Amino acid sequence: MSDLADNHVNTRSLQTELTAKRDSGRKLLLPYVTAGIVPNWMDCVEAVIEAGADAVEIGIPFSDPAMDGPTIQQASVQALNNGITPHGALSELRTREFAVPLIAMTYFNLVFRYGNERFASDLAAAGCAAAILPDLPFELAGEWQEAATAHGIENVLLAAPVTSDERLAQLVERTSGFIYTVSTMGTTGERAELDNAATVLSQRVKAISDLPVIIGFGISNPEHAVSAARSSDGVIVASALMRTLLDGGSIDQVASQVSAIRVALDEAF
């Protein structure tokens, strides 16, 4: 059952915290962890924070993750097979406090079934400061946005290389937390090289907004991160970390990957 009756409201601002760190000269690092991918997945969240994360994206598994490539899809399947549910993931998060903001990432079908109000309230109770719903166009997000705002949940929107100038301006007005800039057209996943479109898109966003601009999709190693951060305020790292766990690697190994990227960013900027 939901804890909606408690009417939870988040008081932590992802946007404020990320903007302050960016303004101090720090490049932002946002690792991703699939809830339930391993039984002690929350220890992984703690480990990537200790390794230098500025916020952590928590993937709430969905059976048909359209935006995700094969690695995150496999991570979601493994988590679902482990018995994780949206309410279960949020209930587990509620048992701990983390030193940086958490961002829930999932798909709107799940939120629709859960209920906008209930989901926003339970996110707040779980300590989440923001949410990413990549398949929900902002034109259709009115009810979700209203519920999210009422519970202090920031709504992070995605910008893609093909986003028109007009739509980009509308998107910037409606997003909060940061602007998630997609590095390339396609799904998430490890890549050998980053698409130059990410640089162009970051520059377009920075020309019209002071929100932190963070690049995701395909950031797999320190070199990628440094390259992407030259034109942006930071990076999201997801598939490369979850691949380590899927291949039987340890949480310490995931933390080492995050630490290596943190060190590279700090040394380069």
Q: pTM for this structure? A: 0.93
Is the pLDDT at 9 greater than 60? The verdict is: yes
What per-residue confidence (pLDDT) applies to 67? 73
- In the chain, pLDDT over 70 holds for what percent of residues? 93
- Active-site residue, from 46, 54, 68, 190: 68
Is the pLDDT at 11 greater than 80? The verdict is: yes
Instruction: Spell out the residues 6+ positions from residue 11 whose beta carbon is closer than 8 angstroms to its own.
Output: 152
The pairing of beta strand 234-237 with beta strand 213-216: parallel
Active site residue 193: no
- Active-site residue, from 17, 57, 190, 195: 57
Is the pLDDT at 8 greater than 60? The verdict is: yes
Active site residue 68: yes
127 SS3 class: coil
What per-residue confidence (pLDDT) applies to 69? 85
Which conformational region is residue 184 in: left (phi greater than 0), alpha (psi within -120 to 50 degrees), or beta? beta
What per-residue confidence (pLDDT) applies to 35? 98
- Mean pLDDT over 99-107 rounds to 97
Is the pLDDT at 135 greater than 60? The verdict is: yes
What pLDDT digit, counting tens, does each position of 74-94 carry? 999 999 999 999 999 999 999
What pLDDT digit, counting tens, does each position of 26-55 carry? 999 999 999 999 999 999 999 999 999 999
- Mean pLDDT over 221-240 rounds to 95
What per-residue confidence (pLDDT) applies to 239? 95
Chain center to CA of 97: 18
- Structural contact between residues 158 and 131, judged by C-beta atoms closer than 8 angstroms: no
Instruction: Please report the beta strands in the chain, taking only residues with DSSP state E, as ranges in sequence order.
Output: 28-34, 56-59, 102-105, 128-132, 154-156, 158-159, 179-182, 213-216, 234-237
